[in-house]
Amino acid sequence: MASKLGLLFGILVIAFVMQFQTVIVIAQPQVPCYFIFGGSLVDNGNNNRLVTTQKANYLPYGIDFPQGATGRFTNGRTIADLIGQRLGFPEFIPPYATATDREISTGVNYGSGGAGIRLETGRNLGDRISLDRQLLNHATIVSRLKLLQGNITFTNEYINKCIYLVNIGTNDYVNNYLMPQSYLTGRIYNPDQYAAILTQQYSQQLTTLYNLGARKVVVFGLGPIGCTPAQIARVGTNGRPCVESINNITMLFNNRLRPLVDDLNNNLRDARFTFVNVSGIAANRLVLPNVPCCQIQSNGLCVPNSIPCPNRTSTAWYDGFHPSEISNSRLAARAYIARSPLDVSPNDISTLARL
């Protein structure tokens, strides 16, 4: 009897240990490092100490996030957090603002709410770290890694293996082109010309990222900006679910981004850029209403310390501009493993990680 129990206990321990080992194997990241660039869709605290109205380090932001309100512009995890988890990173990538020497070898998040491809983008909100400055910050981090590692060849090979996520451009519309009272761009360029100059500048910035050692680069297209509660409230929809004229304008940029990714792959040796069709994925997933979950202020952000909707998987948006975690999760799922070649191309992120 005693020996039977002992045997059963032994089997249970082995089963437990095997399960535990499986967990450890899953927790091993697919790539050694992960760097993140962009605006408020990926910011995880870089704006907290900047002088800007574009901050989210207060409740009800972060209400479903383990560490609470960190500066993430959603109730839970951002798209960058969710992709990081799918890649197997056991911890969230730290913000540039607080990253320590010990942390930087697995990656850094440079994202800043209000930031754009263009330097002036977001100045109506206050300070922000533009994509050009994010790239300068990355150059500093790369130098730092080389110094800490003490072997430049090794570090160069190492940073070639990382995944780089770039999610920017929304503010170049929302906090620039679509505000003709504050910015000249809307008066100088027609929508197609604006998409062209934005793409041209972005192409140079992505080439700079490549020159800093990036090879596996995930470029996010713009989401359905005309479906955000803030734009719906501002412009009206004539009974349609979204502001079509805005989606048509931003689609011009998305349509240029996909061929840009092909150009970069053809012209830069060993480059593996890939395009995530955010609008396309949003359009054919299970539809949630285009209303915010939190109570919003006139600037579209949540009212500090207000009580958000009880069911945070019931709305597409958390505030006037930013998707709720459920929308981010659905996007992450299809960006990681595409359901159609139109979702993400030429490689979905799970394939890119293995290349």
Ligand X SMILES: *[C@@H]1O[C@H](CO)[C@@H](O)[C@H](O)[C@H]1NC(C)=O
Question: What is the residue type of 212?
Answer: L
d(CA 63, CA 191): 38
Q: Which residue, 254 or 347, is less far from ligand X as judged by CB?
A: 254
DSSP state of 305: T
Residue numbers of the site for ligand X (CB under 6 A)? 151, 153-154, 157, 244-245, 248, 254-255, 258, 277, 280, 283-284, 311, 313-314, 342
Q: Which residue, 99 or 243, is less far from ligand X as judged by CB?
A: 243
Among the listed residues 195, 163, 158, 161, the one whose alpha carbon sits nearest the alpha carbon of residue 176 = 195
Beta carbon of residue 254, minimum distance to ligand X (angstroms, whole number) = 5
Within 13 A of 282's CA, how many CA atoms are on the CB side? 24
Q: Which residue, 200 or 340, is less far from ligand X as judged by CB?
A: 340
Beta carbon of residue 75, minimum distance to ligand X (angstroms, whole number) = 13
Beta carbon of residue 226, minimum distance to ligand X (angstroms, whole number) = 9
Place of tokens 């480059």: 271
Q: Which residue, 200 or 248, is less far from ligand X as judged by CB?
A: 248
Question: Cβ distance 78 to 44 under 8 Å?
Answer: yes
Q: Which residue, 31 or 129, is less far from ligand X as judged by CB?
A: 31
Beta carbon of residue 311, minimum distance to ligand X (angstroms, whole number) = 4
Question: Cβ distance 125 to 53 under 8 Å?
Answer: yes
Beta carbon of residue 84, minimum distance to ligand X (angstroms, whole number) = 24
d(CA 237, CA 215): 41
Instruction: Name residues whose C-beta falls within 8 Å of residue 148's C-beta, 6 or more positions apart in sequence.
Output: 101, 104, 105
Strands across the sheet with 216-220, in order?
Answer: 34-38, 163-167, 216-220, 272-276, 344-345
DSSP per residue, 129-175: --HHHHHHHHHHHHHHHHHHH--HHHHHHHHHTSEEEEE--HHHIII
Instruction: Name residues whose C-beta falls within 8 Å of residue 239's C-beta, 6 or more positions apart in sequence.
Output: none
Question: Cβ distance 50 to 128 under 8 Å?
Answer: yes
Residues taking part in catalysis: 40, 319, 322
3-state secondary structure of 316: coil
Assign 3-state DSSP to the chain and report helix, strand, coil percentages, each to 5: 45, 10, 50
Place of tokens 């790369």: 142
Q: Which residue, 211 or 255, is less far from ligand X as judged by CB?
A: 255
Beta carbon of residue 71, minimum distance to ligand X (angstroms, whole number) = 26
Q: Which residue, 133 or 258, is less far from ligand X as judged by CB?
A: 258
Question: What is the residue type of 81?
Answer: D
